[in-house]
Amino acid sequence: MRVDIGNALDEVATPGIPEDALDRLDSRVADAHERIAEGRAAHEHGYESLNLPETVDTGAIREAVEPFQGSESIINVGIGGSALGSATLSSALESDVDAYYLDNVDPEWIERLLEEIDLSSTAVNVVSRSGTTAETLSNFLVVQQAMEDEGVDWAERTWVTTGESGNLRDLADKHDLPSLKVPDGVPGRFSVLSTVGLASAALQGHDIDAIVEGARDAERSLSGSLYDSPAYAYGAIAHALDIRGAGVNAMMPYSESLETFAEWYAQLWAESLGKDGLGQTPVRALGATDQHSQLQLYRAGPHDKMVTFVQVADRDDVAIPETDLEGLSYLGGSSLGELIDAEFEATEASLAAADVPNVRIEIDRVDEYNLGNLLYNMKAATVMAGELYGIDTYVQPAVEWGKKAARGLLGGGDFEEADAVAEKNVFE
């Protein structure tokens, strides 16, 4: 992964970072890098996720999914960090095994989805670190019932990925289901390079060793300077732009296959950094599609945003056929790849011309190695930004509040959060 920060400097953009501020920022990056290295060495909660390229056992993951090989599809039941990493890999890479993600609990959507899938040749992967998340457990119970209704032995087709204890662990023990463990010290949104993100990828036939190899190379590029480390450059620049007024960060990959990556990134950035009245709001965008909508606001709206582009250097291409229509003759003989590249360059230049800060992330291809590299780098960028904000990157009290309130409202326990919801309900 390469990062170009030229359009984030104050000679181009407003807000922008003065060149001399970069050196001051770099010395803060050096201090933060030391703190991160200490946290990693001590296997502290959260920092441990940056050790995954060394600690993940891809052989054990492949072995665990081996009994499920031959399935025509896989249903992944999980939400947030327990779904988005795996979904990012799945939507970016081609496979003959279809992967479905049951994260939301919208009943009509779930009903339609389950009708569409041939459950008799489907594997089910239930993922919850805590083992208590209401959406995940409810969706799993619905899938289990749907399988039973179709005479499918759900226990034969299911494995769970969870922590040491919790309802899901109890369920796995009760039915003797195979299980994978979520590693200690790795919060959900940082878990893509572990059992959580890689098991479904392995069943889909993706080369999970290449994913980890890409991550390992990203890990090796972490140094105490933003000038040498693309991950730290991105994290530090996004933070510096935020405190200068770019409170919104639109993540805009120019690749359909990276649309879910933008969703994964938005979760990682928002849930990790939104604390203590601080944090930058991530927005999901897609090039070239959102040039026809959001771009209007980014270029001509308030100067409170930055745009992050992800550009893919090399991809398979489709030729645009020649046409005898004179007005379209400029397209014939060119290709869709050339067109999307031109769209990207035009958008990048148009934002720079309007003084809107933007950062370009470039990857070579959308493949296992480069995805592993990108995902690790963005995790490290988030960790760096968290250090610079001075917040606890690895907790999510607001998310936990909502989970407890929902459980309490459904009678799943005595939670003061649920009482607060009841008190606020003016319609009662």
Hey, which residues are catalytic here? Answer: 271, 292, 403
User: Binders of ligand PA5: how many residues, by CB under 6 A?
Assistant: 15
Phi first, then psi: give them for residue 171, nearest 5 degrees: -65, -40
> Nearer Cβ to ligand PA5, position 28 or 45?
45
**How near is the Cβ of 285 to ligand PA5 at its closest, in Å?**
21
What's the first-to-final CA gap in the chain, in angstroms? 53
Q: Which of 61, 79, 114, 192: binder of ligand PA5 (CB under 6 A)?
A: 79
> Nearer Cβ to ligand PA5, position 133 or 255?
133
Binding mask 397-416 for ligand PA5 (x = CB under 6 A): --x-----------------
> Nearer Cβ to ligand PA5, position 282 or 287?
282
Question: How far apart (Å, rounded) are the C-alpha atoms in residues 27 and 225?
Answer: 8
> Nearer Cβ to ligand PA5, position 188 or 235?
188
Binding mask 271-300 for ligand PA5 (x = CB under 6 A): x-----------------------------
Question: How far apart (Å, rounded) are the C-alpha atoms in residues 413 and 400?
Answer: 14
- Which residue is closest to ligand PA5 by CB? 188
Q: In this structure, what token pair is assigned to residue 214? A: 């890409």
Amino acid, res. 103: D
**How near is the Cβ of 141 to ligand PA5 at its closest, in Å?**
14
Q: Which of 81, 85, 279, 386: binder of ligand PA5 (CB under 6 A)?
A: 81
Q: In this structure, what token pair is assigned to residue 334? A: 């060119």
> Nearer Cβ to ligand PA5, position 99 or 268?
268
Residue 80 is a binding residue for ligand PA5 (CB under 6 A): yes
Peptide bond into 107 cis (omega under 30): no
Containing H/E element for 388?
A: helix 368-389
**How near is the Cβ of 32 to ligand PA5 at its closest, in Å?**
21
CB 413 within 8 A of CB 403: no
> Nearer Cβ to ligand PA5, position 71 or 128?
128
- CB under 6 A: which stretch of 122-130, 300-308, 353-361, 371-379 binds ligand PA5? 122-130
Place of tokens 């939507």: 91
**How near is the Cβ of 196 to ligand PA5 at its closest, in Å?**
8
> Of 182, 173, 101, 174, whose CA–CA distance to 143 is shortest?
101
**How near is the Cβ of 333 to ligand PA5 at its closest, in Å?**
47
Burial of 325 (0-12, 13-18, 19+ CB in 10 A): exposed
Contacts to ligand PA5 from residues 332-351, by CB under 6 A? none
- DSSP letter string, 26-58: HHHHHHHHHHHHHHHHTT-TTGGGGGHHHH--H
- CB under 6 A: which stretch of 68-76, 79-87, 318-326, 417-425 binds ligand PA5? 79-87
- CB under 6 A: which stretch of 100-108, 114-122, 127-135, 147-155 binds ligand PA5? 127-135
Contacts to ligand PA5 from residues 162-191, by CB under 6 A? 187-189
Strand partners, 158: 124
Contacts 24+ apart (CB under 8 A), 21-27: 21/240, 22/226, 25/226, 25/236, 25/240, 26/225, 26/226, 26/227, 26/236
Q: Where do contacts with ligand PA5 occur on this chain (CB under 6 A)?
A: 79-82, 128-130, 133, 136, 187-189, 271, 396, 399
